[in-house]
Amino acid sequence: MRTLLVLLALTTAAVAADPAVIEKGRQEEQRTCLPCHSLRIIHSNRLSRAGWNKELDKMAGWGTKYSDREAILEYLVANFGDDKPVTPPDMTTDGSAKK
């Protein structure tokens, strides 16, 4: 039974990583998230699937309207999952505000 569950989980992960869905999610992110803040605040995070799910719920509470929530979630997990290395923030060197 345990093996079956592991296999099921692996199959689901393989389906979830569909590049077309991830690309859709990337486009949806532009439309859905940019009205309120830059992408930097999103892309600097590394979260688990559960973490991104909670984050999307939190944004919904602030009025985010999703037309393809599932695709955005897959895109975020694939690119900014907690298994991905953290990139250092891109800073100006003279203390000036970032453009």
Residues that bind ligand HEC (CB under 6 A): 29, 32-33, 35-37, 41-42, 45, 55-56, 58-59, 62-64, 72
Q: How far is the CB of 60 from ligand HEC (least distance, A)?
A: 9
Q: How far is the CB of 6 from ligand HEC (least distance, A)?
A: 29
> Which residue number, 21 or 42, has a Cβ lying nearer to ligand HEC?
42
Would you state the torsion angle of the CA atoms of residues 69, 20, 44, 93, taken in this order, to the nearest 10 degrees?
-140
Q: How far is the CB of 42 from ligand HEC (least distance, A)?
A: 4
CB contact at 8 A, 89 and 46: no
Tell the burial category of 32 from Cβ atoms under 10 Å away from its Cβ (0-12, 13-18, 19+).
Answer: buried
> Which residue number, 64 or 79, has a Cβ lying nearer to ligand HEC?
64
Among the listed residues 77, 89, 98, 81, the one whose alpha carbon sits nearest the alpha carbon of residue 22: 77
